[in-house]
Structure 1
């Protein structure tokens, strides 16, 4: 089954089985940079009923489908920003297009600025986690992973920018801040030197101070 065939079958299943009238594909499948084993990420809307999630293998592909009552189309918030850039597969009228336009407007607006004490708390937390990661062992290695994940978010949040998720974040870094992108690339390698992580933390914290 081709991707187009699978998408057609998925839309039919959501329409018949779950009575969805507006269906949007998002993520790597919508952007066109999916791997062979990438999920089909879908958000779908129907006239009523509770929100639910359908996951699992379907016709040989992995699905991750969120189904909402149609009222959710009108109430966009930051929890839905990952759907931004999606592709409308089916829609009632122009509901899907209007929903995506509202998400773009939300993303383009400035997020609430972090308070100065929150900025300092995030920077101090990163330094504390850096020390704990240096100890090694199962806890130190866990702290390292946790720190790397949060540093990517901090790069954007400390600059009063919305965090767009990891895929888009790394694309932005590669284009606009290649030095930080290179540090992430090195720090995420198995067996990376602790000094690389130190340099990454210092770069993000220092740049955040300058940006204020």
Structure 2
């Protein structure tokens, strides 16, 4: 079965068990980037006191559903930006439209800028990690993976851009900074030489963003930072 084949069953279950009155499909299945092993990412809103997560596998499909308190609809936070562009599966009122409007406002306002001292710390940390990961032991290998994970996120954080997960981040780089994407791809290759990682670190720390406002609408994850 395909992931979408489970949508009706999942929605009925969420309505019956949690009294959900707004249900969204988000992630790769909603934005058209899904592949054969994509998850079924669901967000539901109901009169619950805390966030509840339902995760299970059915016929090889991973169903990952979050049930949120209804207050999130009116006051979403940064973690909820992943619902932008979601597909409405069910709603009793126009609550989803209100949520999307709030999310667009939050997105345009941009992430809070990093303090100057935090920027300095992250730059020094990346440089130190390059040296420390060269130890021929488990700790060195761990630091290598730690650095490679942090680099993609820090590229966006250091430039006052939203980081929306690896898939969207890499896609954004493909459009706006292909040189940094190429450097990161080389560094992420299993067994990549230290020089490739050093080049990626340099790009993340020092590369300017070519025409960051070039994308239309909300496709460019830059805000005012206010």
Which residue in 2 is equivalent to 1:200?
Answer: 200
Root-mean-square deviation over aligned CA pairs: 1.7
Q: CA deviation at 1:142?
A: 1.1
How high is the TM-score relative to the length of structure 1? 0.92
Q: CA deviation at 1:39?
A: 1.1
| Structure 2 unmatched ranges of 5 or more | 213-226
- 2:120 is the alignment partner of 1:120: yes
Q: Could you say what secondary structure the match of 1:154 adopts?
A: helix
Which residue in 2 is equivalent to 1:180?
Answer: 180
C-alpha contact (below 8 Å) 1:84/1:104 kept by paired residues: yes
How high is the TM-score relative to the length of structure 2? 0.86
Q: CA deviation at 1:108?
A: 1.5
Partner Cα separation in structure 2 for residue 196 and residue 123 of structure 1: 17
| Mapping for residues 48-59 of structure 1, pairs under 5 Å | 48-59=48-59
Q: CA deviation at 1:198?
A: 0.3
Partner Cα separation in structure 2 for residue 161 and residue 184 of structure 1: 18
C-alpha contact (below 8 Å) 1:88/1:97 kept by paired residues: no
Which residue in 1 is equivalent to 2:219?
Answer: none
Higher alpha-carbon deviation: 96-105 or 197-206? 96-105
Q: Does the C-alpha gap of structure 1 residues 74 and 136 become closer, same or farther in structure 2, counting only changes over 3 Å?
A: farther
Q: Could you say what secondary structure the match of 2:119 adopts?
A: helix
| Structure 1 unmatched ranges of 5 or more | none
Q: CA deviation at 1:30?
A: 1.0
Partner Cα separation in structure 2 for residue 191 and residue 3 of structure 1: 35
Bigger relative contact order, structure 1 or 2, given CA contacts below 8 A and separation 6+?
Answer: 2
Q: CA deviation at 1:45?
A: 0.7
Consecutive aligned runs of 4 or more in structure 1 exceeding 6 Å deviation: none
C-alpha contact (below 8 Å) 1:24/1:43 kept by paired residues: yes
Q: Could you say what secondary structure the match of 2:56 adopts?
A: strand
Pick the structure with more helix per residue. 1
1:76-110 CA-to-partner distances (Å, cap 9, x unmatched) read: 11121222221111112111122122112211212
Q: Could you say what secondary structure the match of 1:20 adopts?
A: coil
Which residue in 2 is equivalent to 1:80?
Answer: 80
C-alpha contact (below 8 Å) 2:40/2:61 kept by paired residues: yes
Partner Cα separation in structure 1 for residue 110 and residue 156 of structure 2: 12
| Mapping for residues 154-193 of structure 1, pairs under 5 Å | 154-193=154-193
Q: Could you say what secondary structure the match of 2:160 adopts?
A: coil
C-alpha contact (below 8 Å) 1:129/1:143 kept by paired residues: yes
Q: Could you say what secondary structure the match of 1:191 adopts?
A: coil
User: May I ask how many residue pairs the two structures share in their alignment?
Assistant: 209
1:5-53 CA-to-partner distances (Å, cap 9, x unmatched) read: 3111211111122211100111111111112121111110113344211
